[in-house]
Structure 1
Amino acid sequence: MTDTRTLDLLVIEDEALVAMLVEDALTLHGHRVVGIADTVASALDLAEQDRPDLVVCDVKLADGDSGITAATALADRGVPCIFLSGNCPADGGHPLIIGCVAKPFHTGSLGAAVQAAYAIARGETPEQVPAALRLYRELPA
């Protein structure tokens, strides 16, 4: 497996500055951010318009929305997700919710986490799982 696939990513984050930092970190690793959403409704709309390969989602969103709701709805549509949050949930609740990266994050570890999560979602074993990515399920040995 190659470790440098360019992915189309949707970022779900309600804090504009954090969203820009996440977008910069992801594009630095050669990925394309297809949109930034701050509510469940906007996330679903953006995902419908330009289906992402993977979603990077905060847990607490604007208007009292839940990133867990957004991630679950997208996972139900076959789109894998990882959380990027200061409040990582204990469990993903869906097989396509791969894991969580805690804020604050390092640019390099976020790029590696996205690659690893995408590989896992495709049923592959990633070359590397960064320590920053807490997985919600064990990888096959």
Structure 2
Amino acid sequence: MRIMIVEDEALLALELELEVEAAGHVVVGTAASRKAAFDIIESSTPEFAFVDVHLSDGPSGIEIGRRLAEREVPFVFVTGNIKRIPEDFVGAIGAIEKPYTMNGLQNALSYISEKVAGGQTVSPPPGLILAKAC
């Protein structure tokens, strides 16, 4: 799967990138701001995205989520404050709350990969909070 990472904390972005690649996926871009994320969406056509809510330019992750939803790109929010996510999750599959464990992230990525591929999924892993529509 071609995955975009939207995270303004460089160490977390790198950690997430390494985990995504170790799971056999390709990172098409990493963005720390709304503009950088919009550029990646337009130029790289990701198949999935991890999106932090609060970025270097403020709480613009919600806007990025809306843009992804408009383009029917599945995504999850990765945030330290779940309460910042609107009740409708702006089209996200769900959210992963920081701090997360690498094992929790790997389990969530496996679940998400299966869901995006249209396969039959089992119960979501404990670290993944699903949006009500999912």
> What range describes the TM-score normalised by the shorter chain of this pair?
0.7 to 0.9
Kept in 1: contact 2:47–2:74 (CA 8 A): yes
What TM-score do you get using the length of structure 2 for normalisation?
Answer: 0.86
- Using structure 1 for the length normalisation, give the TM-score: 0.82
The residue that corresponds to 2:94 in the other structure is 99
Gaps spanning 5+ residues in structure 2: where? none
Evaluate the alpha carbon distance shift between residue 90 and residue 72 of structure 1 in structure 2; reply closer, same or farther with a 3 A threshold: closer
Structure 2 counterpart SS, 1:9? strand
Aligned: 1:59 with 2:53: yes
Residues 62, 90 of structure 2: 8 Å contact kept? no
Which letter does structure 2 place at the counterpart of 1:21? E
Post-superposition offset of 1:117: 3.0
Map 1:1-141; keep pairs closer than 5 Å.
7-88=1-82, 89=85, 91-95=87-91, 97-121=92-116, 124-137=119-132, 139=134
> After the TM superposition, which segments of 4 or more aligned residues of structure 1 sit over 2 Å from their partners?
89-95, 114-125
Aligned Cα root-mean-square deviation (Å):
2.0
Normalized per residue, the structure richer in helix is: 2
Amino acid at match of 1:91: E
**For each residue in 1:45-91, what CA deviation from the matched residue of structure 2 results, as whole angstroms up to 9, or x when unmatched?**
11111111100010101122411111111111111110111112263
Query: What do the CA deviations read for 1:15-44 (whole angstroms, capped 9, x no partner)?
Result: 111111111121121111110011112111
Q: Paired residues, what number? A: 132
Partners of 1:27 and 1:121 lie apart in 2 by 17
For 1:111, the aligned partner's letter is: Q
Q: Is the 8 A contact 2:4 2:48 kept in 1?
A: yes
Unaligned 5+ runs, structure 1 = 1-6
